[in-house]
Copies of this chain bind each other. A is one copy, B any other.
């Protein structure tokens, strides 16, 4: 780090926010390797609004694959407002990228010495890297100085779904130089918790494809949105709003059934572990008015009545 700093004039800014772009929010779930362009563009624009004060400059100056159009480069750069920008980390899920290759080869089970597993790892990484590149380009187009990072080349590796090694120095270096690190993950939200623990953002936002966390699968007609969940020091949690008797117990029972693929109990538990660190967690539908409110941190004091989403925070 010290040698690196000699070449830069960066100053260390506290981390403002970690955002998780859910795979289901930015890709088309049921179409192999297809990005939800509209959502991704809206999300990028909202992120830019939340991060950057003042004019924004496109930072993607590359041709699109197949296009002959030469990119245009803006020429009115101004350094005045740069220092007022807020420090963000963007982590994204894989959605309809990577999973096909991973499941075909059983790569999540480990065993990289086998040819099939190794091939699957390479194939998965190609798929996820192509998604990562598209996300970086979408963010850069909105003036966000995004730097793609794969957990693998950051020196991160998982062992039985826990983080075995997690060197966050590359992420810190990128942040210090004023970049927005953008990571891909396949295996749950462990990386976010790890980053939150070490870099202590003010709040964490999960952007998903539904309004928030419900008491049962949101497709069911009677599903109720859980608007506020309080986490106690011991990690247990209960629903504050809506006020219902023995709600938390009811939730646990109801959602357990649809929890095999990383459902709501997993989501709440992960979010509760982050909230326990002392920062708010917002789970909110991507590309809506609600998500822009959450990204801007306008929920820390009081929650507007018309805001829809789930807030998970330490019990007062």
Which residues from chain A sit less than 8 Å from chain B, CB to CB?
A: 3-4, 6-10, 32-33, 57, 59-63, 65-66, 70, 73, 77-79, 82, 100-101, 104, 110-116, 118-119, 121-123, 125-127, 129-130, 133, 136-137, 140, 145-150, 152-155, 157, 159-160, 164-165, 169-170, 173, 177-179
Contacts and interface: CB of A to CB of B under 8 A. Distances in A.
A103 to B, nearest CB: 11
Quickly give the copy total for this chain.
2
A164 B63 contact: no
Given A147-B125, A177-B112, A119 B77 contact: yes
A6 B165 CA distance: 11
Contacts of A157: 4, 7, 173
B62 A8 contact: no
Interface hub of A62, A100, A123 (most chain B Cβ within 10 A): A62
Contacts of A125: 147-148
Q: Which 3 interchain pairs have the tightest Cβ spacing?
A: A61-B123, A77-B116, A59-B122
A62 B78 contact: no
A73 B117 CA distance: 12
B159 A79 contact: no
Contacts of A79: 113-115
9 contacts: A6-B159, A32-B63, A57-B119, A62-B126, A77-B115, A78-B115, A79-B113, A112-B177, A129-B148
Contacts of A66: 65-66
A127 B62 contact: yes
